[in-house]
Amino acid sequence: NAGVTQTPKFQVLKTGQSMTLQCAQDMNHEYMSWYRQDPGMGLRLIHYSVGAGITDQGEVPNGYNVSRSTTEDFPLRLLSAAPSQTSVYFCASRQGADGYTFGSGTRLTVV
């Protein structure tokens, strides 16, 4: 089925470790975004991309890097994990003014 695929679904990291959350979409969407969702905080934008080779910061970019080398893939890198990055991370993609299609999320715990 077409959609947005996120891996892994669950991850536990130690403070200071680095990792990459993977996101891939097969709908040829131009826009892709990463959000984090925390209780009582809603969805907050981390980074977004309007096309291959173009990325920009969202509301809470510190501690995260992204790249967009292809239309399909938009990985999110945690450089040095901190307990404050414990969250559920969602990747989403859209085309033009259409609504976002979200992945099923990655639940990350940093201990």
Partner 1 sequence: TQLLEQSPQFLSIQEGENLTVYCNSSSVFSSLQWYRQEPGEGPVLLVTVVTGGEVKKLKRLTFQFGDARKDSSLHITAAQPGDTGLYLCAGVLPPKLNFGKGTSLLVTP
How far apart (Å, rounded) are the C-alpha atoms in residues 13 and 78?
A: 10
In the complex with partner 1, the residue whose CB is nearer, 17 or 43, is 43
The binding site for partner 1 (CB under 8 A) comprises 4, 31, 33, 35, 40-45, 48, 50, 58, 90, 92, 94, 97-105
In the complex with partner 1, the residue whose CB is nearer, 41 or 79, is 41
In the complex with partner 1, the residue whose CB is nearer, 77 or 100, is 100
The answer to whether the Cα torsion of 23, 29, 31, 37 is positive or negative is: negative
Q: Minimum Å distance from CB 105 to partner 1? A: 6
How far apart (Å, rounded) are the C-alpha atoms in residues 58 and 45?
A: 5
Q: Minimum Å distance from CB 15 to partner 1? A: 26
| DSSP for residue 100 | P
